[in-house]
Homo-oligomer: A and B are copies of this chain.
């Protein structure tokens, strides 16, 4: 099983642990979060791009990985991916570089898994 798959399994397990606590507000937030990336006035692919850019400037590796997986499935190309990284780098500065390093590595892993 690839590193990405392991990461996904761990993520699912911990999400289940949170939801099993049955906190109504948290459950509703999780649903809002899912809904935010569904087709609407903007299509799902564009929304995943937004999520990926935001995750990069906010420097959250797990969030970046999640949006990379979703974005790759929705057809973001490598050139488009690098453009998103570039906007995030310019907006967020060199402090984002370690996250961009890991993002590009994971992107390449996903392309090989295809």
Contacts and interface: CB of A to CB of B under 8 A. Distances in A.
A35 B25 contact: yes
Question: Which size bracket describes the interface of A in this complex?
Answer: 35 or more
A89 B98 contact: no
Contacts of A83: 23, 40-42, 47
A26 B60 contact: no
Contact of A77 (B26, B41, B57): B41
A96 B97 CA distance: 17
Interface of A: 11, 14-15, 17-18, 21, 23-26, 28-29, 32-33, 35-37, 40-42, 46-47, 49-51, 53-55, 57-63, 77-80, 82-98, 100-102, 104-105, 108
